[in-house]
Amino acid sequence: MPSPLSHFELMTNNPETCKAFYGKVFDWQFDDKTMPGYSLVNTGGEPSGGVFKKPETAPGVCVNVYFHVDDINSTLAKVGEHGGTVLVPKTAIPGVGHFAMFSDPEGIPIGIMQPTS
């Protein structure tokens, strides 16, 4: 099965400034109540996204992208077999599913999501 883009995140130093900017540029709407500390982005279509404050341990601000997969465990096994590195192991998102992050052989970080069936 193909693995389409399913979600993106803007990891930023200032979430309020970030939301103001993208809200004005793209007319995005933000939900700050569903997940405290994480603003859900309604882009008016798919995929949806999120905005959150960069953790102090993260190297810098960035855009994270997540691709839909049917089996995170199988995908992470393939990552290791082909020279990638798991950065964040399979992690539950209550009511949503699971996510993980890895880097490819050049160090590019990529996220994957397996929605709850």
94: preceding bond cis by omega (within 30 degrees): no
Judgement on whether residues 84 and 56 belong to the same structural domain of the protein: no
Nearest to 71 by CA among 105, 117, 102, 109: 117
pLDDT tens-digit series, residues 35-90: 999 999 999 999 999 999 999 998 889 999 999 999 999 999 999 999 999 999 99
**Residue 96 within any structural domain of the chain:** yes
**Residue 1 within any structural domain of the chain:** no
Distance CA 63, CA 16 (A): 16
Total domains in the fold of the chain: 2
Domain around 20: 7-63
